Amino acid sequence: MIDTNLHLRSATPRDQEKIHQLFCIPEVFEYLADGKKPPPAIASAWVNSAAADNAKYGGGLWVLVDGADQCASGLVRLSGDDSGELELTYLLHPSLWGLGLATRMAHTAMTRAFAAGLAATIWAGADAPNTASFAVMQRLGMQFRRRVQYPSGAGMEYQMRTGEFDPARVEPLAIA
């Protein structure tokens, strides 16, 4: 059963260790970091860049937490540059896979970014074997963008442009 107190909140420096622990779960880093356990500096860099990404591009880093212990069970990130495109990244603790939470987290972040008018396109990519991630992108309504070659092998990217986004497509999560 899904905890009804699950919500997103902006990541803070206090979350770095919890985010790194999430990164270090083998099922997570298999695709996130090309099968290699990432160093703590990656979590630190994501948290540190989140505030700037939010201010400049409508992006940021949000952790999925429950109302009781505020433990980071997942995260969604929008990062960008001056191109008008934001990259969407999402991950969940494996115990929460298959419940629709990745789709809801991603859709909530996309709603926020498109509503702010700071992104023309949001895109996401995944390694070819990561079919669950492609399913999330398709449930979001994203369209195939291109085939890519990652360090660990072939992958694909999907995208959504502002005018294609339907904010009512997926039930959002609360952002606290």
Judging by DSSP bridges, how do beta strands 74-80 and 60-65 pair with one another?
antiparallel
pLDDT tens track for 59-102: 789 999 986 666 789 999 998 877 889 999 999 999 999 999 99
| Domains of the chain (ranges, CATH numbers) | 7-164 (3.40.630.30)
Quick one: average pLDDT of 44-49?
91
Q: Please state, in angstroms and rounded to a whole number, the distance separating the CA atoms of residues 118 and 124.
A: 17
Structure confidence at residue 1 (pLDDT):
39
Phi and psi for 125 in degrees, rounded to 5? -135, 160
Closest CA to 101 of 69, 68, 70, 62: 62
pTM: 0.92
pLDDT tens track for 108-136: 999 988 988 878 999 999 999 999 999 99
Within 8 A by CB and 6+ apart from 174, the residues are 7, 8
Structure confidence at residue 119 (pLDDT):
86
